[in-house]
Chain A
Amino acid sequence: MSLQITQLLLSAQSADGRVRSAAEETLKQFQEQNLPHFLLSLSVELADDLKPPESRRLAGIILKNSLDAKDALRKADLTQQWVNVDASLKVQIKESLLLTLRSPVSEASQTASQVIAKVASIEIPRREWPDLIGRLLANMTQPDTPATLRQATLETLGYVCEEISPQDLEQQEVNAVLTAVVQGMSGVQESYKVRLAAVRSLYNALDFAQTNFENEMERNYIMKIVCETAVSEESEIRQAAFECLVSIASIYYEILGPYMEALFSLTANAVKGDEESVALQAVEFWSSICDMEIQIQDEYDGDDVRSSEGYHNFIQRALSMLVPMLLETLLKQEEDQDQDDSIWNLSMAGGTCLGLVAKTVCDEILPLVMPFVEGNITKPDWRSREAATFAFGSILEGPSIEKLLPMVHAGLDFLLNAMNDQNSQVKDTTAWTLGRIFEILHSSNCEYQVVTPSNLQRIISVLLEGIRDAPNVADKVCGAIYFLAQGYEDAESDSSILTPYLGQIISALLWTTDRTDVSSSKLRSSAYETLNEIVRCSQIPETTNMIAQLLGEIMNRLGRNVELQILCSEEKEKQSDLQASLCGVLQVIIQKLCTSDDTKLIFLQAADQLMALFLRVFACQSSTVHEEAMLAIGAFAYATGQEFVKYLPEFYKYLEMGLQNYEEYQVCSISVGVVGDICRAVDDKILPYCDGIMTNLLKNLSNSMLHRSVKAPLFSCFGDIALAIGENFEKYVPYVMPMLQGAAELCANLDDNDEEMLEYGNQLRRGIFEAYSGILQGFKTSKAELMMPFANHLLQFTEAVFIESNRDDAVTKAAVAVIGDLADTLGPSIKILLKNANFHVNFLGECFSSEDDQLKETALWTQGMIGRVLAS
């Protein structure tokens, strides 16, 4: 088998597609026929120094993929699969892997260290590989171990630490690991690669060092070594050491006090003189400190944070030196950096950090930055002007509007003029700064007005000129227009001072979407997105005609787009991108028009044609449905109401396709939402399609490959359907109720310590309650008794949720409503159940003391329903 598997692993990487897929197929068969032996032979292949590196590498990768997957459910399956492998085989595999670490072929040893970490992630928490750490450490302590093995061992320790959590290791193991790592970092006789591996391991081990960091001596020692490493000869090691410092800044913020002076000079030197990769990490250190202090301020939420024990004021204390250091970085722009939005260099990092500093210390940043701005903004050198503008734009978030406003007023005219600067980067940053001003400081309801009737005209004319500039400048201008419009979104009057300019703005944006001097599609989609915001923020009815015209224009564009006959895949993608933008605008227009009865007529007249267009868009793709078109259908269904029935026969197949697309979960999720929209639009006319829809929903719920964020909406969707079809939901009860009960159990067993799981749990709970509410209300008039067997379970679940400390407001609202629904639907038959489950008294009490009027109303209603049952 050994020869055969080598050949297969090589063939599976063949350039010849047929050879490749045949080999893959055979490998798959081996895997399915006898997984344990398959894994063993892979580990043997990986360990064998006589085998070609290519087959060994792939063997390692397949092993790794047999142990871990991104999807949590698949991962759980793989874990179980490994646990079930015969113990003696597992021992053989693990020995092979440890042996491979000794291989002089670095590809093999590196792959092995990753596989070991994956096995460790399963076995260490289960205490099934107790000697792993000891065996690895032995590699480090035995004399004369080759440098390659020391390197591979340190890398393995790092990966293992990355995979497991601190509570999985005994403190003495942690101590030993840290000792080995720190020795590896500081050993004079160690090779460069060993030291680098050691620093990188430390990065992963930092989380485990809680106890060690609490001990002053150990802490001093670790910090000393890290700081020394940060000035090593090799830049890669210095960078890795600074990455450790960044991580220490967020994990051990509270103990940093005594080291801050040293850390400041260390980082300042790196920012001033070190290679960019190192300097970037040095700036990042301060950004992390800002993140921490902002987070602590948020937790204190307005109380005097500065006097609190956990807040060390590091940023404020370093301010007078930190800010000049950051301002220096702004002058280190690269030529042409404005051409690349994703560029990350020292000046970008410096500006980002400056922005965080402003958020941390608020007003105090102004006297330190404004002289730099004023001193540089008129200089002949473009770098000075750009840096001054960037500095100003960076500090707009944090300081109070009272302090900022005079400065913005004084500077606005200057900025508007700077849109004619001869340097493109200056214009780019100026447009971005204008956008920031509008985003952060401009709101029509605010006491302090940045944009006034007297300067609006000038602002608009500068922006509309700027949008014709280079594509990168035009893109920033779109952002500025977007936020300028957004400032009027909540305007209370029916008339906006922006209205007289909307015609010009819309034409300029449409013109921008048609520009041919643009290589990427980014500007085009920015222009369309800005158009969306313009529509959203426009005031109906004064802009009705304009929006009606825009509707016609966008429909024409979409009509032309779907006519295109395209075969090449690149063009096809472009077509689809444009469809996304156009459907997006249509969606926004539909929603806007439906805010008033008069304008809704405009939509209704175009509805048939719109639907025809959407169907054409759907037809452009064979395997999936267009996400944006689906999103637009949701708004469309809501707007058409009962009339939507006539579109269902043609639309249904695309809805089904969307529901079946579990791989692109966003598409699936939106399709699920659209089912709800249709239910509410057509009520029980959806009945003929319900079997199909329910089948797909139920399949999705059982599909472990579907992204979990879609699961909760699936439950809510059951509620939507039940409410729409009422008693006809009866036949789905045997399928749906076990799902609801299973999900309720799952909620109880989710990991409390995981933020994401908490969030997921809350979504699930809400989904479950919404499902129950819909079903209960749907059955109320004629099939109430069907829900009787589930009443007790629902009450128990609700009580469990009531006790749950991590319950969020939406869950609370759904939970309190469902008790009312239960009482409303089942009436006196649950009198005894309700009497026994008297947690509702406290639950309602909690709701009544809430600030949320909606919640109070719901609670009041529920109390009424309960009262009626108890009084019966």
Chain B
Amino acid sequence: MAPHELRRPFKRPAISDQQRRRDLALIRQTQQRSDSQNRARRLASSLFDLPSHSFPDACQADFPDNVDVGYAIALEQSPELEASSPTVRHLDFVQASKLKGSAARHWFARQLMLTEWMIDVPPNLDRDWYVFARPAGKRCFVVSSNGSTVSRLRNGSVLHHFPSSLPNGARTKEISAPSHVYCILDCIFHEPDQTYYVIDMVCWRGYSLYDCSAEFRFFWLNSKLSETGACNPPSTYHRYRFSVVPIYDCNRIGLHKAYTGGFAFVKDGLLFYNRHAHYQTGNTPLALVWKDELCSQYVLDTDSEGHVPAEQQVVLELQDDGKLTTSDDPPILFGCLEKEIIQKSSFQAGNFLRFSVIDECVRIVDGKLELGDLKFVGKANRARAFADSYSKVFFQYTARHSPLQFQDLIASLDPNLDENSESNDMEMID
């Protein structure tokens, strides 16, 4: 018969540090095992590695939307995402390339490099800039990862979801790229020939080109894209053709070729890229767009019916305090809405409102455009993610009154540089 087990001597100090060390070591190992497994999971697709724990309680319901809400909140709260260090941004792209739903919309709406409209000719155009014809169509990001390809419009919404010959862009045996490989291309989708014209390369096979100069990005784009078969005609596992756009040094010949040359696509103006500039999200003065009637059908903005309105129209964002601003960072103030009007209407801060410009009220002071009084037209199309930029408003204004003409561009070139550049202008387009 076993005697009743004695109780542990009560007065002994209750420290058993060795067991504590074992326990703590176990806890540490468990935590680290779970961390490293989570790291492995995240490489593919986890959305949950962000510092925020602010998942709403409602996340029981159906998956994508709720995650999106959580993720969108996380995005906005997370200062890292604003940071510009290349590694951070690169990692963000790894995650972002797998995003879905409105989280992805939110993300991609802020990732495109947006050209400013050319109000005046930048200095050293011929030395520091490229020029190329802009295909008419929808500007979008194309992301290939995990065996599929998604294109997203400027506002972040999905245009197409399709298989492609881009690395990891389709689930086929031939494309046996590891799953962490992904690509992000800056494209314009050209309806008439159903082709994605690649105008910039942001990530290729998981490597970020973000902090590379335009010169390198264009070089890489031209040498890599065709290797994949992405430029081939469509097939089962490659629904849309990709194509590069001929890019020219911005000298007299280059400018002429871009301006007057015939291309497979319908032209919508000219794009000017500074060759030293990195890929930068949002508006940048180092990438410019210029249009006139000859190279674009869309010089003047159209209204929702597709007509060019009699008066110039602008879309501005309503701020908390009633101010009406452009999409620039920092925003440019173009007017103010009175409190009474805001109260009477259902407008909220963040709404995009469409106004007519009253020509008589417009002033240009020290090279700066001031619109003066505006006439309210209505709320802007819901798909809008941005107000107009300052440069666009200005460009549209000058286009109606005293447009910057092709001759002005040519005139700005340094005549001495012509000879040297002639030899290498076609270098990158074959």
**Footprint of B on A, CB under 8 Å?**
158, 162, 200-201, 203-204, 240, 243, 246-247, 281, 284, 287, 341-344, 348-349, 351-352, 355, 390, 394, 428-429, 432, 435, 439, 475-476, 478-480, 482, 526, 528-530, 532-533, 580, 584, 587-588, 591, 628, 631, 634-635, 638, 666, 670, 673, 676-677, 680, 716, 719-720, 723, 770, 773-774, 777-778, 780-782, 817, 820-821, 824, 827-828, 845, 848-849, 853, 856-857, 860-861, 863-865, 867-868, 872
* A246-B4, A435-B13, A482-B13 known; A867 vs B32 contact (CB < 8 Å): no
In this complex, what residue of B is CB-closest to A828? B171
Judging by beta carbons under 8 Å apart, are A845 and B60 in contact?
A: yes
Q: Are A780 and B40 neighbours in the complex by a CB distance under 8 Å?
A: yes
Whether the Cβ atoms of B10 and A479 lie closer than 8 Å is no
- Inter-subunit contact B11/A865 (CB<8 Å): no
A155 vs B83: C-alpha distance when bound (angstroms): 79
Q: Does the CB pair B37–A666 fall under 8 Å?
A: no
In the bound complex, what is the Cα–Cα distance between A821 and B40 (angstroms)? 9
Are the CB atoms of A848 and B25 closer together than 8 Å? no
Q: Decide if B25 touches A631 in the complex (CB within 8 Å).
A: yes
A680 CB contact (under 8 Å) in B12, B21, B32: B32
Shortest CB–CB separation between residue A638 and chain B, in angstroms? Answer: 7
Q: Is the CB of A158 within 8 A of B10?
A: no
Q: B74 CB to closest chain A CB, in angstroms?
A: 12
From residue A419, how far is it (CB to closest CB) to chain B in Å?
Answer: 15
The reply to whether the CB of B45 lies closer than 8 angstroms to some CB of chain A is: yes
Tell which of A246, A341, A439, A529 touches B11, judged by Cβ atoms closer than 8 Å. A341
List which B25-56 residues lie within 8 A (CB) of chain A.
25-26, 28-29, 32-33, 36-37, 40-41, 44-48, 53, 55
- Asked whether, in the complex, the Cβ of A860 is within 8 Å of the Cβ of B55, the reply is yes
Known contacts A670-B25, A723-B40, then 7 further A-B pairs from the complex at CB < 8 Å, ordered by chain A residue? A428-B11, A530-B15, A580-B18, A628-B21, A824-B45, A848-B59, A861-B46
Cα(A670)–Cα(B9), bound, Å: 29
Q: Are B9 and A781 in contact (CB under 8 A)?
A: no
B123 within 8 A of A: no
Residue in A635, A638, A680, A864 with the greatest tally of chain B CB atoms within 10 Å: A864
Query: Which residues in A have their C-beta under 8 angstroms from that of B60?
Result: 845, 848-849
- Separation of A316 and B218 alpha carbons in the complex (Å): 85
Interfacial chain A residues near B4, Cβ < 8 Å: 243, 246-247, 281, 284
Among candidates A482, A631, A849, residue contacting B15 with C-beta atoms closer than 8 Å? A482
CB of A863 within 8 A of CB of B13, answer no
How far, in angstroms, from A588 to B60 measured CA to CA in the complex? Answer: 41
Q: Give the size of the chain B interface in residues (CB under 8 angstroms).
A: 45
10 closest A-B pairs (Cβ-Cβ)?
Answer: A479-B13, A529-B17, A777-B40, A200-B1, A848-B60, A352-B10, A781-B178, A857-B48, A341-B12, A863-B63
B256, CB-defined interface residue at 8 Å? no
What residues on B are CB-neighbors of A528 within 8 Å?
A: 17
Contact for B55 among A588, A817, A856, A864, CB less than 8 A: A856
Bound CA span A781–B22, Å: 35
CB of B143, distance to nearest CB on chain A (Å): 15
Q: Using Cβ atoms and an 8 Å threshold, which residues of chain B touch A817?
A: 37, 41
- A and B contact pairs by CB, cutoff 8 A, 23 listed: A246-B4, A341-B9, A342-B9, A348-B10, A349-B7, A351-B11, A352-B7, A352-B10, A428-B11, A429-B11, A475-B13, A529-B17, A584-B18, A635-B28, A720-B33, A720-B36, A777-B37, A781-B178, A781-B179, A849-B60, A853-B53, A857-B48, A860-B67
Task: Note all chain A residues with C-beta closer than 8 A to B28.
Answer: 591, 634-635, 638
B26 touches A673 (CB 8 A): yes
Whether B64 sits at the interface, judged by CB under 8 Å, is yes
Contact A824–B13 (Cβ < 8 Å)? no
B142 to chain A minimum Cβ distance, whole angstroms, is 19
At the interface, yes or no: B3 with Cβ under 8 Å from chain A?
A: yes
* Chain B neighbourhood of A580, CB < 8 A: 18
Q: Which residues of A contact B365 (CB under 8 A)?
A: none
**Known pairs A720-B33, A723-B36, A781-B179; A478 contacts B44 (CB<8 A):** no
Docked-complex contact A820 and B33, CB < 8 angstroms: no
Residues of B within 8 A of A (CB): 1-4, 6-7, 9-15, 17-18, 21-22, 24-26, 28-29, 32-33, 36-37, 40-41, 44-48, 53, 55, 59-60, 63-64, 67, 147, 171, 178-180
**In the complex, A827 Cα to B147 Cα: how many Å?**
10
B9 touches A343 (CB 8 A): yes
Bound together, the chains give a CA A526 to CA B17 distance in angstroms of: 8
Would A719 and B37 be within 8 Å (CB), given that A343-B9, A587-B21, A631-B21 are in contact? Answer: yes
In the assembly, what is the distance between CA of A757 and CA of B240, in Å? 60
Q: Which of B3, B17, B37, B48 is in CB contact (< 8 Å) with A532? A: B17
Least Cβ–Cβ distance between B371 and chain A, in angstroms:
46
> A432 and B18 in contact (CB under 8 A), knowing A284-B4, A638-B32, A824-B41?
no
Q: How far is the CB of A473 from chain B (nearest CB, A)?
A: 11
**Cα distance A872–B13 in the bound complex, in angstroms:** 61
Provide the bound-state CA to CA distance between A351 and B14, in Å: 15
Contact A432 B11 (CB under 8 A): yes
Q: Which residues of B contact A778 (CB under 8 A)?
A: 40
Q: How far in angstroms is the closest Cβ of chain A from B170?
A: 12
Do A533 and B17 touch (CB < 8 A)? Answer: yes
Residue of B33, B47, B59 contacting most chain A CB atoms (<10 Å): B33
B13–A781 contact, CB under 8 A?
Answer: no
Could you say which of A432, A634, A773, A845 contacts B37, with CB atoms under 8 Å apart? A773
A774-B37 in contact given A348-B10, A673-B25, A824-B45 (Cβ < 8 Å): yes
Are A676 and B29 touching (Cβ within 8 A)? Answer: yes
Q: Compute how far the CA of A588 lies from the CA of B23 in the bound complex, rounded to whole angstroms.
A: 13
Assembled-state Cα–Cα distance A390/B13 (Å): 13
Closest to A778 in B: B40
Q: Is the CB of A634 within 8 A of B9?
A: no
Does the CB pair B55–A857 fall under 8 Å?
yes
- Complex-state Cα separation, A868 to B145, whole angstroms: 13
Chain A minimum-CB-distance residue to B26: A673
Contact present for A348 and B11 (CB under 8 Å)? yes
Please indicate the chain A residues that have their CB under 8 angstroms from the CB of B2 in the complex. 162
Q: How far is the CA of A352 from the CA of B171 in the complex (A)?
A: 69
Nearest CB of chain B from residue A636's CB, rounded to whole Å: 11
Closest to A724 in B: B36
A628 to B147, CA, bound (A): 49
Residues of B within 8 A of A673 (CB): 25-26, 29
When chains A and B are docked, how far (Å) is the Cα of A227 from the Cα of B345? 90
Q: Which B residues are in CB contact (< 8 Å) with A344?
A: 6-7, 9
Closest Cβ neighbor of A536 among chain B residues: B24
From A476, A821, A860, give the contact of B13 (CB < 8 A).
Answer: A476
Q: Which residues of A contact B45 (CB under 8 A)?
A: 824, 864-865, 868
Name the distance in Å between B104's Cβ and chain A's nearest Cβ.
13
Contact B17 A584 (CB under 8 A): yes
Bound CA–CA A777/B25 (angstroms): 24
Contacts of A723 in B (CB 8 A): 36-37, 40
On whether A820 and B41 interact (CB within 8 A), knowing A530-B15, A584-B17, the answer reads yes
A402 to chain B, nearest CB (A): 24
Count chain A CB atoms within 10 A of each CB in B1, B53, B55 and give the residue with the most. Answer: B1
Which single residue of chain A is at the shortest CB-CB distance from B36? A680
Asked, given contacts A673-B25, A777-B40, A824-B44, whether A770 binds B33 with beta carbons under 8 Å apart, the answer is yes
Asked whether, in the complex, the Cβ of A287 is within 8 Å of the Cβ of B55, the reply is no
Report A771 CB to chain B, min CB distance, Å.
11
Name which of B7, B11, B22, B29 has the most chain A CB atoms within 10 A of its CB.
Answer: B11
* Residues B10 and A351 in contact, CB atoms below 8 Å apart: yes
Give A159 to B178 CA distance when docked, in angstroms. Answer: 65
Q: In the complex, what's the smallest C-beta–C-beta distance from B118 to chain A, in angstroms?
A: 43
* A479 in contact with B14 (CB, 8 Å): yes
B33 / chain A contacts, CB cutoff of 8 Å? 676, 680, 716, 719-720, 770
The residue in B2, B18, B64 that gathers the most chain A C-beta atoms within 10 A of its C-beta is B18
Which residue of the partner chain, among A439, A475, A631, contacts B14 with CB atoms under 8 Å?
Answer: A439
Given A532-B17, A824-B41, A394 and B10 touching (CB < 8 A)? yes
Give A770 to B60 CA distance when docked, in angstroms.
25
Contact of B178 among A533, A628, A782 (CB under 8 A): A782
